[in-house]
Every structure is written in structure tokens, then in C-alpha cells.
Amino acid sequence: MSNDLAILLARTYLQIPFDQFLKEVKTQYPRLGEITQFQPITEGYEDANILLVTETGTYVIKIFSKDRSVENVRSYIHILEEAQKIGVPVTRLVPGTKGSISFAAENTKTPYCIAEFFDGNDFQEKSPTMDDMVRVASYLAKLNTLRFPMTEYYDSWGNKNLAVEYEKNKESLTREQAELIAPVVESFKKLDFSKFSTSIIHGDMQRKHVLKNAKGEYCILDFGCAANGPKVIELSTHLAWFCLGEDTWSARKDIMNKVVEEYTSVHHLTKYELDALPILMRACYAAYYLKTCVLIGDGNTSQETAQWNKTSLQMLRLAALAGRGEF
């Protein structure tokens, strides 16, 4: 077993040899046919995602993290199914003999699902255009029309939990790190979340979670942080992490105006909610900077963590220099 695969599978309850598990998968998902090769997908921090090449095509298997309850997994699948029904471009699930969710035969604690592989590129290397930003906002607006009960997974990276994570981890920060994060936390804590309208939200809209293919079609990935949450959390995260970056910062006013205009053509947001957006966007950067500082302090040496630490620090500094009125 490769080291990358071992690291991924350690996130799950899967104990049987992976080759044996793949034989089970082939039985549960006869549409796949023979599995000829597989490749671990190393990006990300939760779940184990593995590319499968079979005689009928290319797929992605997601073995859910041991940190997720079965109820949360069922919610994850339900959102994908409902999103597809209303025209949100998401990964297409492959039905197995027992539905969209299967369990490893060795126990009932290892749920997994399989989706068709979407052949497209994300926006980590290529900046999104204004059309991309507005189009994705329109899909999020459509997604945010969904309303039903769900079991959430706690997101320690998201802006929604910044204050909790700061209190939990502030002793692990250096003085310089705390001085950057603390003012954002103080502004964030003044927000009254009871004044925010809620719906089903993706909760983690960033450039690596949107693919676009050669035909101009999109696919929204990774609903692991989906929640019944404030719509302004959705919009602020999309603005902070998908739309804005050093590459688009100079156009931030125009970007914010057009993206907010698109979103509010579907969802009415109050003045209080709109005024909260800059604070919540800064909270996105502070939350990622906090999380990566803690991970690095604990010995995490991955390139992904280092890059998020660098990017979130850059964006946090840009936002601080801009000031509230210039964000």
C-alpha cells in the first residue's frame, strides 16, 4: 500500500486490505465493471477520496471519515441528490445495489459512495473571470433555496466557528499571530446571528471546489461542510475564497457589487446582513490563518497547509489595509 493511500485510509474505519475492499466495491457497483487502477487524491483534510479507472469509465470513490456520523453522511448524500434535482451542477452519484450509500462489509461504520468523474479544471491555477464568479453565485443562490433538516459536520476551518476556534487555540499562537487574528474575532463576536436568514448552504466555496470543463460546464464539489446555516456565510465565503485573491483584489468593489447583485436577485438580504459581509469575509481569512498556524505549530509540514497559511495571511493583511469602507 502506498504511503498516500495509507494516510487517507487512516482517516476512516476501513481495516481490511484495500484490494479486498475493491472487490466488494465491484460487487456493490456492477456498473463499474473491472477496476483497472486507482489513484489517491491527496488534497483536502477530511474523508478519503480515490480515483478509480474501470472498464466502463473513470469514477471517484469517497470513503467517509471516522469523524462523520452515519446521519451526517446521509445528509451529505441527500443534499447532492436534491441539488441535482433543482439544476445545481454537482457530482453525479452512481447508484449501487443498495442505493447511493454503501458500507464496507467488515462493519457498519465505514460508509462510502461513488460518483462519476468530472473532467474539468479548478480555479487554483487560473483566475476565475467575472462570469465565473457570477455564475457560481447563481448556483449557490439556487442551492440556498433548499430547506430541510440535516445533520451537520463541525467545520473547524469555517468563518462561522472563528470565535470558538480562537478561544480553543489562542494559547497556541505567537504574539504576532494573535495580534492579526484577535481584532477580527472581536468584530465577529459583535454580529447577531439571529438576524441572519438561513437555508441549506455549501459552506466551503473556494477555487478548488469548482471545476469547469472544455464545454464551459461547471461542477461544484465537496459538500463536507454543508449545513443549515446563514446565507451570508455562504455568500461571504464565496466572495472571500472563490472570487477574491491577490489576482483579483484590485477589482474587489466591482466583483462584490456584481456577485451580491446576482445573489440578491434570488434571496433578499437585509441591510444588516449586507453590512456584515466584510466582517465575515475577514473572518474567512482569519479562520484559515488560525487553523493553519495551529496545524504548523503541531508539526504539520504538508505543502497544502503551508500554502493556505501563506494565502490566508496575505488576504488578512490586504483586508486590514483596505479598511472596512474599502473592502
The 10s digit of each residue's pLDDT in 266-325 is 999 999 999 999 999 999 999 999 999 999 999 999 999 999 999 999 999 999 888 655
Angle, vertex CA 97, rays to CA 94 and CA 100, nearest 5: 40
pLDDT per residue as tens digits for the range 143-174: 999 999 999 999 999 999 999 999 999 999 99
Q: Percent of the chain scored above 70 by pLDDT?
A: 98
pLDDT of residue 83: 98
pLDDT per residue as tens digits for the range 181-226: 999 999 999 999 999 999 999 999 999 999 999 999 999 999 999 9
pLDDT of residue 324: 56
pLDDT of residue 322: 80
pLDDT of residue 307: 97
pLDDT per residue as tens digits for the range 238-271: 999 999 999 999 999 999 999 999 999 999 999 9
3-state secondary structure of 308: helix
pLDDT per residue as tens digits for the range 83-140: 999 999 999 999 999 999 999 988 788 999 999 999 999 999 999 999 999 999 999 9
CA pair distance 77, 70, nearest whole angstrom: 11
Q: Which residues make Cβ contacts (< 8 Å) with residue 252, sequence separation at least 6? A: 244, 322, 327
Residue pair 231/197 in contact by the 8 Å Cβ criterion: yes
DSSP letter at 220 equals E
Quick one: how far is CA 90 from the chain centroid?
13
CA pair distance 229, 150, nearest whole angstrom: 11
pLDDT of residue 105: 86
Q: What is the pTM of this model?
A: 0.95
Which domains are seen in the chain, by residue range? 3-116 (3.30.200.20), 130-326 (3.90.1200.10)
